[in-house]
Structure 1
Amino acid sequence: MIVLAATPIGNLGDASTRLVQALENAEVIAAEDTRTAIHLMRALGVENRPRLIALHEHNEREKAHEVVELARAGDVLVLTDAGMPAISDPGFPLVEAASAAGVTVTAIPGPSAVLTALAVSGLPTDRFTFEGFLPRKGGDRRKFLRSISTERRTMVFFESPHRLADSLVDLAAEFGAERRVVVCRELTKLHEEVKRGTAAELAAWAADGVRGEICVVAEGAEETEVDLAAGVALVLAAVASGDRLKDTAADVASATGLSKRDLYEGALAAR
């Protein structure tokens, strides 16, 4: 079978007994970075020397078939550099291929930056979404944030420290300056920091630069009724900034529950 194994996101003490046992017994390990896998085993006192296969974002679709075939003969342990494989890390194409081939996939659960950030954020945890990394380019990022600006569930994002300030400025613009936001930095590490405030406050805080691994948790939107006229206005505003009408109508429809066709035709009529 294929075994997806969660690894520590910062604190080595979070390595589970099952993870250590799996590393000790593994004959084949598919790792995001084989050097990181070797370092982890050494740090945990594991003397096993399994076959190591690099499985990362640039080759995982090509390597998936090979790893699946290896898993027919024996277990393959799958590791990423930190956290759970397949969650904004390599692994999904492999699981997809294994499922299609009838090869069993299981997991050794453990540390998760997503759940850790959500748990410590102080924002509602009963319903939430994980949105992965925000788009790199400003225009794409603002368009994406606009499309989810009415999402009522708590939202968790990953972000690069180098783009955090710009992303928080865009989040404040699209979600509203008073939306509650939490930035979680270096979770489980020595310099862990959880910074809470409004979108505007955290944008100002991050302006001088922030270091480390970053998770952003944003409060969901308040429940509001958006009528067709307001929805059309949202579409027209996005189109005026350069977005395609068809795509924007779909985004606003998804966010508001309004009809995509009505939004599209309403925007055409208004233009």
Structure 2
Amino acid sequence: MVARADNTAGCARVDSRRGSPAGVRRLTARLRRVAAAYLVVTALGSIAIGGTSGNTPAGGGGLGPKAAWAGRAGSAASWWQPDGRRAAVQEVVAVRGIQLREVAFDGREAWPDGPDAVRGYLEEALTRIGITDAPARGRWIEGMMTIADHEAQFHANAINLSDSNAYGPPQLDGGPLHATRGPWQVMPDTFAAFHQAGTSNSAWDPVAAACASINYQMSRYGVSRDGSNQRMLVGQANPGIRQGY
């Protein structure tokens, strides 16, 4: 019994010596744990840096807490998300978009206000985008009507002159270049980037603005074409939740 204990202790002493097979295995395992912990810390650091760097304005209405978080998540997702998806989104935007200098600012007072008018604009916008499935159209209209209510109370000529996007040289409508406009309070920058081919270049055209807003939500937040996850991904599309998008 004593001899067996001594032999066991001896084996342990021999195994722990530097260069022994068991010692190498333990050292390798420890290094792997340290490396794994380092990778986790690095990934978390990437998220934090991505969330605080840059001050790019949001494409829709004024930034609320949910919108700020969602925007950061979208920009920080590259550490786990393949670059191919981002490249594909950029390619679609490049094909569909127009230059900011091509955006017009005429016709502010030309469009009727109110829920019925806004619903009509959405019907046409969905047709222009090619969303023809009745349930999908219903979901989009429901969510977009909620956004229009929250952002502008269904006013087609609404413009926000007080938030962080209200800057830039004055335009034909009297507002600064980057100010959000229309029922969905779309920035002209976003209107240009997500412009739907075949629609007006006027930022005040609610059909064109609705198309740009829908395209923006699908590309930036990953809302599906059938609109089934819009309310999960865009807080402003939910009744009672008033947060930028």
Q: Structure 2-normalised TM-score?
A: 0.23
Structure having the higher Rg: 2
Higher relative contact order (CA 8 A, sep 6+): 2
Larger strand percent: 1
